[in-house]
Chains A and B, each alone.
Chain A
């Protein structure tokens, strides 16, 4: 383990990792209670990779991730309330209930989103990097993606373009050894992913993603180098998710013993031990970090629970920006009138009617599910 930083930093790292762990455990529980729907991908076990990375990013740096990014948003400072509310599909969620677990977003903190298509965020990261370069800013983009994404065409295309244009992007593979249920040696011809962009002239480095201090130190070094030289780099962080790919994963592809082995290297427990051994933190600090995480998450569930559902008449909102260049938009061509909502003013009624018929169906379905206790 790398050198222990000062007390304030240790408290911050511990606090954020505890928050993510606690948040994810609770998200899993709320999913079982059908408060959260759809898919739920938990990052329990991957806290050090996430927090180590964000702890060395500047406020004006961009972060972009995958569908497993509740923790990334939390680490960036997005309120747990809003992340939980998004999981609950509520109006107060980070994406107003339009995105869900896979699409958390926080422009204010430059968390540029969670994305549901494997590898789809890689070109976007290059675009964010291009914008920094174009505007002459020295912000850097950190693009986090899984080992599975390294097999997509986007990986090769983006590495090539980012290297060619010398874009300021740190590509960070969260290598948790599985692309969904397929082990890395079964999905990637080259399993040393840090070398996978060598052909594009991008140097890579393997790091221990379970060690928050190593992540902090090494990703910090990459960030500074990319910031200075304006060339992309690749970091492969070895990490592990204790839970399945999603909440609906029976995990037939790995042994329990493997999970237990990784849990021995638990990123939070090992960090706590190092801090206690060093004396930089004491038992009270650890206790209060855990308590605070408990309280924050408990409050987030309450907030999400009590938040309103998105308003039905907002179904068509935010699809387009209506402006001088597009003065109107027909909310739905199925609706007989009006065709031209004048600046959208006529739209809400029509939208509301359509939405209500859809919502009525959703309510029936929800009732059926709770009656039959359906939950995969």
Chain B
């Protein structure tokens, strides 16, 4: 029975994250999960390049306005993990180190109206879970709810 539950959990986890039609599996790493999700969701490693992650982890004492310093050992362990699973194309590269400035992010969100980003329930592009329900557990386009509770599909229908 235990093994069965473990298998089920595994199957679930593998199903986890999809984006732009392909799998965005996030490999498990306890340290990354714990440290990187204490202020925001733990953003998947592949959403920035290895070079971006290196710069990010080198400047955690000034992390987008907050001090997020780690001890050297944890920093290295997390950086190694991020680099190993980092994005491997310029689509995931961001000179500002913000994921929301990558070509990938901009393209994926090109149909989102400007007013949605400043909605009080959203406030920041870093707030994925404002629209992506359960995003911390994985991504599914069916899980999108726009501010005010509307389904994303309905939004598109409105435009027809």
Q: Decide whether A and B assemble into one complex.
A: no
